[in-house]
Chain A
């Protein structure tokens, strides 16, 4: 099974400041990579995914993540956060042709005015 490490458990950030959430995974084989967001008292929503192609993927609400195969990383970034971005963010990985998702421990982002 994959091992997924989210290096920061808590990230406090001021509104309009940039944020980066780090994610590393253990596999040396080809993988699919995902970021999910969980707003308070809600379920998981897919934020963005890397399946193939361009290593930089973007979401509709300004987040982006870059797949770095040599560093086995998939860090999530946003150049300017909003109060509404306060949530828990989970990095997840699956091996190609394997349906099992392995999740990181999550990073709680708290955006303050």
Chain B
């Protein structure tokens, strides 16, 4: 299965600023997924990123708040914009795994102060 490198692994940010999270995959993949895991909660899909097209956002998530780039088949970024403490979460990227299922990156633990 694909190996995903995600960075940064953690960050503490000031409210009102933005953070860009990078996800690098060691093989070409059609779709990349971005999830949020709020403290003590399960994972929620933010958006799906296809190379060469606009990301598709799930209900409750908007492009202005979570802009996504997908410049090629191995890389994607998620930006958390104009952060507030409510954005403190773990953000994970994911790709389809060979043989079925999905592989996840190790996550970015974001704390907004």
Q: Which residues of A contact B (CB under 8 A)?
A: 32, 34, 36, 41-46, 49, 51, 90, 99-101, 103-106
- For chain B, the bracket of interface size reads 20 to 34
Q: Report the Cα distance A31→B100, complex, angstroms.
A: 12
Contacts of A105 in B (CB 8 A): 41-42
What's the least CB distance linking B66 to chain A, in Å? 17
Taking a contact as CB atoms under 8 Å apart, the answer to whether A46 and B102 are in contact is yes
Q: Is the Cβ of B45 less than 8 Å from the Cβ of A104? A: no
With A43-B92, A43-B105, A99-B31 known as contacts, the answer to whether A51 contacts B45 (CB < 8 A) is no
Asked if B100 and A32 sit within 8 Å, CB to CB, the answer is yes
In the assembled complex, how far is the CB of residue B40 from the closest CB belonging to chain A, in whole angstroms? 9
On whether the beta carbons of B106 and A43 are closer than 8 Å, the reply is: yes
Interface residues of B in 1-51 (CB under 8 A from A): 6, 31, 33, 41-45, 48
Docked-complex contact A90 and B101, CB < 8 angstroms: no
B113 at the interface (CB under 8 A from A): no
B33, B42, B48, B96: residue with the most chain A Cβ atoms closer than 10 Å: B42
Chain A min CB distance to B101 (Å): 5
Are B42 and A49 in contact, with the CB atoms below 8 A?
no
Closest residue on chain B to residue A42 by CB atoms: B106
Cα distance A34–B48 when bound, in Å?
19
Tell me if B96 and A99 are in contact (CB < 8 A).
yes
Q: Say whether B42 contacts A106, CB under 8 Å.
A: yes
- In the assembled complex, B62 has its CB within 8 A of some CB on chain A: no
Docked-complex contact A90 and B43, CB < 8 angstroms: yes
Collect the chain A residues with CB atoms within 8 Å of residue B97's CB. Answer: 46
Q: Chain A: which residue is nearest B1 at the CB level?
A: A46
